[in-house]
Amino acid sequence: MRSSAESQALFEKAQQWIPGGVNSPVRAFRAVGGNPFFAVRASGATVWDSDDNEYIDYVGTWGPAILGHAPRVVVEAVQNAAEHGTSFGIPNPLEVRMAELVVNAVPSVEKVRMCNSGTEATMSAIRLARGFTKRNKIIKFEGCYHGHVDSLLVKAGSGALTLGQPDSAGVPPEFTSQTIVLPFNDVEAVRGAFADHGPDIAGIILEPVPANAGLYLPREGYLEFLREITAEHESLLVFDEVMTGFRLGLAGAQGRFGITPDLSCFGKVIGGGLPVGAFGGRSEIMDCLAPDGPVYQAGTLSGNPLAMAAGVAVLEALRDGAVYEKIDALAQALSDGLAKAAKAAGVAVQLQRIGSMSCCYFANAPVHNMAEAMQSDRDRFGKYFHGMLEEGVYIAPSQFEAGFVSAAHDEAAIEKTVAAAGKVMKSL
């Protein structure tokens, strides 16, 4: 049994001064029971807690750690940037380099604006969609999570779904009255919404690969359908690629599926672990943003030099594509190994994966939307989570999250993880 005395003591203290003892709800282990451990160090594919337990990490700080934790290129870039000042609030060369890297990597993005979180990126993107189209309604999908934006906290995924609060308190009905929520992967539902509200729909925002209710894929032709119907109605297609952007390839999910959205939101990977969000798209849309246009959006620390230094270092390390080949292959081996372990243990699982992102649903049938994800056996998942933790493997503390493989993982780590799963699954 690993010791947790230090983490327990820290959690006691944290709960006195921080709501729930955490600065983001999903970290509280509420979905899996028990108390969170406190991380004190992370390097490569490993995280150490305050009781000196070590874990192979498949959360990767919820996506940013695509190169692994504390890669030298990022640490040195941030150290060097810090020597020259930690924030200017004045345009700086690193912002230009970041914008150039994003525009060169994502064909649909002609201009990009930096901000400080994925939430800011999606909030700004839907404001921009409304300002550009002069329409009010936004379509989102059940189970998709776009950060804690008031008007999008409706049947949201991730921590909201995990905690059973897909519709948050504190959001007046007026704030969500312009939000249309539909089941994902349901063509007729979208057709019906446009039939009823077409002229007032500013856009559709979606995770092209929903990964905040576990991970499920768009059905064949679904993204193409959304592209066509939004173009037909002069609504905007907004891809929330906060998680998939620069994770599923340099051009993210839109590159994998060959879809050209009107706006894209980014975060996580482009910050290299520092607080960064971004949104971008066609110049004619982006030029509606202040100071050129009437749609206001701003941020004291947007384009912060430390965050830009970290993000630029990561994007430059990804440019030759070699990382993607490695992490996709390792993730394939992981999913194959977990599936074999489950079969040997007689445990029903659905291993769903794209690139280096995956989810192990404890379910009897494949998952294509939130309703089906909700059929998964969360109790069994909780037991699996804690069993893996005891074996030194840290996966997301919720069935409704995705897992990530980084460039710092290797075959030995995958083999250790699969062996641990083989042992744990036999006990479920």
| Total Cβ atoms within 10 A of residue 99 | 19
Residue with tokens 């709960």: 15
Position 124 contacts ligand KE4 (CB under 6 A): no
The two structure tokens encoding residue 191: 């057709």
Question: Which of 67, 70, 13, 58 has the alpha carbon at shortest distance from 38?
Answer: 13
* Residues of this chain, 374-403, that bind ligand KE4 according to CB under 6 A: 401
CB 408 within 8 A of CB 44: yes
Position 159 contacts ligand KE4 (CB under 6 A): yes
Instruction: Tell me whether residue 240 is one of the annotated catalytic residues.
Output: yes
First to last CA, the chain: 18
Instruction: Tell me whether residue 383 is one of the annotated catalytic residues.
Output: no
Position 243 contacts ligand KE4 (CB under 6 A): yes
Site string for ligand KE4, 41-80 (x = CB under 6 A): ---------------------x------------------
Cβ proximity to ligand KE4, 122 vs 376, nearer residue: 122
Residue 302 makes CB contacts below 8 A (sequence gap 6+) with 113, 114, 115, 116
Position 151 contacts ligand KE4 (CB under 6 A): no
Cβ proximity to ligand KE4, 243 vs 308, nearer residue: 243
Residues in contact with ligand KE4, total (CB under 6 A)? Answer: 20
Strands 137-141 and 179-182: parallel
Position 215 contacts ligand KE4 (CB under 6 A): no
Instruction: Tell me whether residue 268 is one of the annotated catalytic residues.
Output: yes
How far apart, in whole angstroms, are the C-alpha atoms of residue 226 and residue 148? 24
Annotated catalytic residue, options 49, 57, 140, 145: 145
What is the phi/psi pair of residue 261, to 5°? -75, 170
CB-count exposure of residue 17 (10 Å: 0-12, 13-18, 19+):
exposed
User: Using CB under 6 A, which of 46, 53, 92, 119 touches ligand KE4?
Assistant: 119
Position 140 contacts ligand KE4 (CB under 6 A): no
* Residues of this chain, 254-313, that bind ligand KE4 according to CB under 6 A: 267, 277
Position 7 contacts ligand KE4 (CB under 6 A): no
Active-site positions? 145, 240, 268
Residues that bind ligand KE4 (CB under 6 A): 24, 26, 62, 117-119, 122, 145-147, 158-159, 207, 212, 240, 242-243, 267, 277, 401
